[in-house]
Amino acid sequence: MEGLHSPFGLIGQLKEKRGITHEQFLWSQPWSMYLLEMADSPQYVKGEPPAPVAESAADVKRILGR
């Protein structure tokens, strides 16, 4: 799967997801709210999660479970 190449794909996804018309999409809320909604939506990420970073001795103990 490849990401979106333009804002029109984002608009199409949101219209389909919400079941609204293009005019409703344009006038219902600010564009920034749609961008924040899409950025915060769940998504699949390839690979393993990053390793935890320890910044103190307490963090090391927490990570190692001791």
Q: Which two tokens stand for residue 31?
A: 């564009």
pLDDT score recorded for residue 2: 62
CB 10 within 8 A of CB 38: yes
What does the pLDDT look like over 13-62, one tens digit per residue?
888 988 999 999 889 999 888 888 888 877 777 888 888 888 999 999 88
Residue closest to 54 by CA, chosen among 44, 43, 65, 63: 63
Q: Which two tokens stand for residue 51?
A: 């390793």
- The pTM of the full predicted model, rounded to 2 decimals, is 0.51
